[in-house]
Amino acid sequence: MRERFDIVIVGAGFAGLYMLHRARKLGLAARVFEAGSGVGGTWYWNRYPGARCDVESMEYSYQFDDALQQEWRWSERFATQPEIMRYANHVADRFELRKDIRFNTRVVAATYDEAAKRWTVRTGDGAETSAQFVVMATGCLSSTNLPDIKGLESFAGARYHTGEWPHEDVDFTGRRVGVIGTGSSAIQSIPILAERARTLTVFQRTANYTVPARNAPLDPDFVARIKADYPAFRARNSLQINAFGSNMPRSAIPARELSPEERRTALEARWRYGGLFFLGAFGDLLLDPAANDEAAEFVREKIRGIVRNPEVARLLSPRQIIGCKRLCVDTDYYATFNRPNVRLVDISETGIDEVTPRGVRVNGTSHELDALVFATGFDAMTGTLLRIDIRGRDGRTLEDAWRAGPRTYLGLSVAGFPNLFLVTGPGSPSVLTNMIVSIE
Ligand SMILES: Cc1cc2nc3c(=O)[nH]c(=O)nc-3n(C[C@H](O)[C@H](O)[C@H](O)COP(=O)(O)OP(=O)(O)OC[C@H]3O[C@@H](n4cnc5c(N)ncnc54)[C@H](O)[C@@H]3O)c2cc1C
């Protein structure tokens, strides 16, 4: 028998949980399908060592319920993955969300029936559910990306992806570990993996800019000040261009109006403060090439100051525009390359020849490994949606509708797919913002 609901929500990350809560408030009968066995989405899947939020804890949380934001206590300036998972579970319990969520259930298809004006949603177990509305709360970074490297399947050691990390602890003690990729997940995990592994070999195609987090336990006085008027703090953050960071807002002054000493002082202050605020040192840091070059060179100078081997420092120094790719935030990333058990292998020119049963071969040199960590990111924005067979009016597939690139109305809906809604997909503010704010 086909179950009927007003609304089907796909995904139980922060978007799906909030959508369910709102749907109930609107009096809609709702069903959520979630592929994982629990809530939390990103934070359910990304359990790699060092996984952590880059937006400050007091801001990376829901604001729809003042009692919720008053009672929850974050312990650190930047919350760890386990703490964010505890928060997501707390929200699910507090608002009794679980009873409407079917876990371990992947949606494989959604088909629009023009005559009935309803959607039929099919799940991996073959069951069909009928709903007037479908909300794809499927996330923008929820389908992992595994590069197509020759010989990948032949590797005899253990293989991990940061975005599908095992639920139990992985013991790297005494093991020779390789990491492929140097994006945000790698930058967060490499310092910790280096402490645990016998050796750590990092395969780098593109160096990325990263700035220190300066993470620390949260100061109770700071928390008390925010909680004394949390709505006002939220309102100040919502006026920031990325919906966070009113404590250290972007400077309004363009670099060219500052003396060289003043520019230096501004960059130093942001570097010392820690976090993504670095990009706010000048009003025109993301607009004026000269201002951008100066900030980029400042980071390269820091790298040269931290990394003792000049050749390794050179390889770790990015050349691209700073802030074009999302800036990364780290704890001891560059210093990790001073450890005797850590090695950087540049694959920018040659790529990887192949993965062999015993390790990874680059430019004819074999690197023997017991474990291989893929920090190779996601099939971002469209990947998860296109894995579902979505058919709108006249049987047209979403894949066909997006053949020339994803087109949406405000990132929320797609012409020809009535009553199908997106939350954090293409066209949404996504990771350019504090995503919980954008989701709400
Ligand atoms: C490592 C990492 C760090 C991040 N750090 C930050 C940060 O510092 N600040 C920030 O704002 N954002 C950050 N993000 C972005 C993060 O994804 C969002 O903040 C937020 O968690 C997205 O919530 P969501 O509900 O939209 O998607 P997700 O959390 O991705 O949840 C989507 C859910 O949908 C489920 N799903 C997908 N397809 C199906 C299907 N076909 N059937 C059933 N279920 C399905 C998935 O299993 C998943 O649980 C980070 C992301 C990653 C990966």
Structure tokens at 98: 């679980």
12 CA → ligand 1 middle, Å: 9
pLDDT-above-70 percentage for the chain: 100
> What pLDDT shows up at residue 1?
75
> Ligand 1, residues 142, 161, 276: which to mutate, most atoms within 8 A of Cβ?
142
Return the pLDDT at 87. 98
In this structure, what DSSP letter does residue 218 have?
Answer: P
Query: d(Cα 219, Cα 124) in Å, to the nearest integer?
Result: 47
Give me the pLDDT at residue 391, please.
Answer: 98
Residue for token digits 């350019």? 432
- Cβ 242 under 6 angstroms from ligand 1: no
Q: Using the structure block, give the residue that is written with the tokens 């006002």.
A: 232
Q: Output the CA 17–ligand 1 centroid distance in Å.
A: 12
Token pair for residue 322?
């700073």
Q: What is the structure's pLDDT at 126?
A: 97
Separation of alpha carbons 299 and 290, rounded Å:
15
Cα(16) to ligand 1 centroid in Å equals 10
Distance CA 175, CA 200 (A): 9
Is pTM beyond 0.95? Reply is yes
**41 Cβ closer than 6 Å to some ligand 1 atom:** yes
Hunting for tokens 């120094």 — which residue is that? 317
Cα 108-114-119 angle, rounded to 5 deg: 30
Q: Is 276 in the pocket of ligand 1 (CB under 6 A)?
A: no
Q: What is the pairing mode between strands 199-204 and 176-180? A: parallel
CA of 429 to the centre of ligand 1 (A): 14
The helix (H) or strand (E) run that includes residue 24 is helix 14-25
Q: What is the DSSP secondary-structure string of 384-423?
A: HHHTSEEE-GGG-BHHHHTTTS---BTTTB-TT-TTEEES
Backbone angles phi, psi at 16, to 5 degrees: -65, -40
Low-confidence ranges of the chain (pLDDT < 50): none
Best residue for ligand 1 mutational test, from 9, 39, 42, 389 (most atoms within 8 Å of Cβ): 42
The token pair that represents 369 in the structure block: 């490994």
53 in ligand 1 pocket by Cβ < 6 Å? yes
CA of 283 to the centre of ligand 1 (A): 31
Tens of pLDDT along 1-18? 789 999 999 999 999 999
